Amino acid sequence: MAYFDAASAAPLHPVARQALLASLDEGWADPARLYREGRRARLLLDAAREAAAECVGCRADELVFTPSGTRAVHSGVAGALAGRRRVGRHLIVSAVEHSSVLHAAEAHEADGGSLTQVGVDRTGAVDPAAYAAALREDTALACLQSANHEVGTEQPVTEVAEACRAAGVPLLVDAAQSLGWGRVEGDWSLLTGSAHKWGGPSGVGVLAVRKGVRFAPQGPGDERESGRAPGFENLPAIVAAAASLRAVRAEAAAEAARLRELTERIRARVPALVPDVEVVGDPARRLPGVVTFSCLYVDGETLLHELDRAGFSVSSGSSCTSSTLTPSHVLRAMGVLSEGNVRVSLPPGTVAEDVERFLEVLPGTVAAVREKLGAPAATETVRAAGPDLVVDALGRRCPIPVIELAKVIGDVPVGGTVRVLSDDEAARLDIPAWCEMRGQEYAGEEPAEKGTAYLVRRVS
């Protein structure tokens, strides 16, 4: 089985396993106690903090360990907003942040705060000028991920941090996806990470708050972790997290070069092997092991199941693989195709033979899924008929509305229109994306008695 979902959780690093087992014997006592066992546990905790702080690029007394990366984000956002409440209650986030950041932003807005979401371009990157323009006198905090978790695009943190620093606004960086590869450059104020993303155990996050940043921990007070992460520390997991972070950093340069070659192989060959595919994300400024593509006329959930049967574990941002039936907020913000979406995120140690086998299996798997759904062939042509057609796709989920559109676009002459009736939220994203891929004109949407009418004009 080839595990290609490291962006969700990386396999436990051997060093993490060794450190975890060793610290179970040495780090079980309360590090706050003064007796021998407590002092021994405290030494382990202090050493882990020093190691993690060195990797993050901050002082040891600026870093605390939290029960998860999500908790680090929630604590960081809430504490920074509370610390600057006198300045104002305006929060800035990008439209492609991890859900933990967006959920924290929603909670802030529900509590009466104001929120600005900065959009991204088609590669998933923010424009630093847009962040600078969003800054206001009452801005308490800005948030920006270091790299995107779905498409791998690296963000211009240094430039955004400069704009925030000039405005006197702290910047919180969610570095969960990139921390294993290196320090986050730029003059950031707060930073969060999650151990299971770099090969450490789950249940350990890090929160770094620079000296001088106004920060007021929320919730009941606690004497542990500077009051920023209440509760008894999971010391064996913390030790394993810090040890594995140091280990993956030592291997990062060589492993990054190797994984970049493998993902570049996928980016280049998938469009040549599979028709009607859009590779998304920045082609150059991206994480080493992540590559994402979307396939027209494919049910994402079925495709993932078939790839799993073939021995490959991958993930997807397609709406048809989620319980909400809405496309990934990242793909939606980018304005790219969401149906048949596949994210391949290679863990360190991935061998080239597994990637080659994936490229051999993928074309036949996609073709089989398309055939089951009755998708049109790439070379299929249809005779011209009337100037306008209506496709009723109400009650049918992705990718059926786009498949039905593709089947009939040739039935109208050049200049004719097809109205696709759909109540699937994914259609709002996938029909315009299909038009861009196939050289047709997306003419907008109109309200319909049920659902929405999406207008497509044939131009070729």
Active site amino acids: 320
CB-CB contact of 199 with 12 (8 Å): yes
Tokens of 384: 């011209």
CA neighbours within 13 Å on the CB side: how many for 220?
3
User: Quick one: CA dihedral 144, 145, 150, 156, positive or negative?
Assistant: positive
Paired with 343 in beta bridges are: 292, 315
Which residues make Cβ contacts (< 8 Å) with residue 60, sequence separation at least 6? 46, 49, 50, 53
Closest C-alpha among 168, 179, 205 to residue 73: 205
CA distances from 166 to 36, 86, 114, 125 (A): 49, 19, 21, 21
Q: Rounded CA gap, 366 and 179, in Å? A: 34
Q: Rounded CA gap, 96 and 99, in Å? A: 9
What SS3 class is residue 315?
A: strand
CB-CB contact of 358 with 21 (8 Å): no
CA distances from 31 to 27, 34, 245 (A): 8, 8, 22
CA distances from 115 to 121, 141, 257, 269, 282 (A): 20, 10, 39, 41, 27
Q: Rounded CA gap, 453 and 77, in Å? A: 40
Tokens of 400: 């059926």
What SS3 class is residue 360?
A: helix
Hey, how many other C-beta atoms are within 10 angstroms of the C-beta on 386? 9
DSSP 147-176: B-TTT-BBP-HHHHHHHHHHHT--EEEE-T
Paired with 142 in beta bridges are: 92, 171
What SS3 class is residue 48?
A: helix
Q: For the chain, what percentages of helix, strand and coil (3-state, to nearest 5) are there?
A: 40, 20, 40
Hey, how many other C-beta atoms are within 10 angstroms of the C-beta on 447? 8
- DSSP single-letter state for residue 183: P
